[in-house]
Structure 1
Amino acid sequence: MESTAPGGTPVPAGPPHGAPTDGAVPGDWAAAYPAGYPVVESDRLTRFVQRAHARTPRWVVPLAAVGCVAAGIGYTLLSDPTRSAPDALPTCLLKLTTGLDCPGCGGTRALWYVLHADLPAAARHHFLFVFALPFLAYLFVAWAGRQAFGWRLPELRIGPKLIGGFLAAWLAFSVVRNLPWPPFTALYV
């Protein structure tokens, strides 16, 4: 029994004669499925997305990501988060409902100060954001350079333990900055 792959190509029900039967036939996408598994014809939208993906230049996705980052930076520069009125309501839902600083509170102000080259003020508002920013920037440049131009920059080895340690430090920072006793009150934003 044969079924058809997207595009109308016939796909045999099982692996070809003499091929390994462990379920993986090199170069045959249908071999990943068990023998006799029905292959469903792709719908028009899926075929359109697949064709668009195949025709899209390599540099489009990094350019779109740069556009998103630029939009965030532009918003930060235009809104000037450091000049809010003292009696203004907080825009953070957690701070509005509980009065506590959330894990991201101060991040926009920290970005504003980084963009104005005031690192001490940026670190005062969100130390971990300022600490992580060079690493995030390097990871982005390495990814975008590889995607758009084929660059092979040295990779940062970031394993699950390092990510877990950073998230644990971020959680501890989020708790400590809400403690009402000195010296922790200096972290309150």
Structure 2
Amino acid sequence: MTEASVTPHGPQFAGDPFTPPPADRITRFTDWLRAHTPVWAGPLAALACIGGALSYTQLADPANVGADATPTCLVKMLTGFDCPGCGGTRAAWYLMQGDLPAAARHHIMFVFAVPFLIYMYVAWAGNTTFKWKLPQLKIGPKHIAFFLAAWGVFMVLRNLPWAPFTYFFV
């Protein structure tokens, strides 16, 4: 076995003919940016995006607009069926108003996911920024597959044209 030396690009073995190419301008810039960005910038940027989306939802009042309002759902406009995300914006609006039953009626899968998403953000931001020791949720591929399958079943059931499934048709 040959003697190995560690370089910034991985282990380099004696006599190894491969030499990694020098870093290009974009790689050097992103490496510099990563080294000089404060740890709180990522959580703050994510919070700003979430705040912007919630502010837009609050101002747009999606619960009192027609299906032809801009922006609209192309799937619903072209097929008449609710897509997997149809009702999510209205569910968020109703959650901000504190109306849990109306939010669940518009998109129960979104309402189910919101507490988990909030906890995941708080744990990530707290651990990153303040060095809190909040446990991260362990969401594996099986959990994601189960949630996506349930979401798919929900999407199909909400488009069935008879009761009780018409309750979720928005």
- Is the shorter-chain TM-score for this pair beyond 0.5, marking a shared fold? yes
**In structure 1, how many angstroms separate the alpha carbons of the residues matched to 2:122 and 2:73?**
30
Is 1:48 paired with 2:37?
no
In the other structure, the counterpart of 1:140 is 121
Match of 1:81 in 2: 62
Say which structure, 1 or 2, has more relative contact order (CA 8 Å, 6+ apart): 2
Could you say which residue in structure 2 is the equivalent of 1:127? 108
Q: How many percent of aligned residue pairs carry the same amino acid?
A: 53
Asked if structure 1 preserves the Cα contact closer than 8 Å seen for 2:124 and 2:136, the reply is no
Deviates more, 1:80-89 or 1:45-54: 80-89
The whole-number CA distance in structure 2 between the counterparts of 1:120 and 1:33 is: 60
Alignment gaps of 5+ in structure 1: 1-14, 20-24
AA at the equivalent of 2:52: A
> 8 Å contact 2:73–2:86 — kept in the other structure?
yes
1:175 maps onto 2:156 in alignment = yes
- Of the structure 1 ranges 134-143 and 80-89, higher mean CA displacement relative to structure 2 is found in 80-89
CA distances 1:14-52 after superposition (whole Å, capped 9, x unpaired): x6x4x5xxxxx6x54444467221211112222122111
> What SS does the aligned partner of 1:41 have?
coil
Q: Distance in 2 between matches of 1:53 and 1:29?
A: 16
**CA shift in 2, pair 1:169/1:150, >3 Å:** same
* Residue 155 (structure 1) shift: 2.2
Unpaired runs of at least 5, structure 2? none
Indicate the larger mover: 149-158 or 120-129.
Answer: 149-158
Check the 8 A contact 1:76/1:112 in 2, yes or no: yes
The aligned amino acid for 2:78 is T
Please report how far the alpha carbon of residue 90 of structure 1 lies from its aligned counterpart in structure 2 after TM superposition: 7.4
Which one has the bigger helix percentage? 2
- Assess, with a 3 A threshold, how the Cα gap between structure 1 residues 176 and 130 changes in structure 2: closer, same or farther: same
Query: Match for residue 22 of structure 1?
Result: none
Q: Distance in 1 between matches of 2:158 and 2:65?
A: 21
Q: Which amino acid aligns with 1:66?
A: L
CA distance in 1, matches of 2:58, 2:112: 21
Does structure 1 residue 67 correspond to structure 2 residue 48?
A: yes
Pair 186,65 (structure 1): closer, same or farther in 2 beyond 3 Å: same
Provide the residue aligned with 2:146 in structure 1: 165
Determine if contact 2:158/2:169 at 8 Å carries over to the other structure.
yes
Contact 2:158 2:165 in 1 (8 A): yes
CA distance in 1, matches of 2:108, 2:145: 18
Seen in structure 2, the aligned counterparts of structure 1 residues 90 and 55 have a Cα distance that, compared at 3 Å, is closer
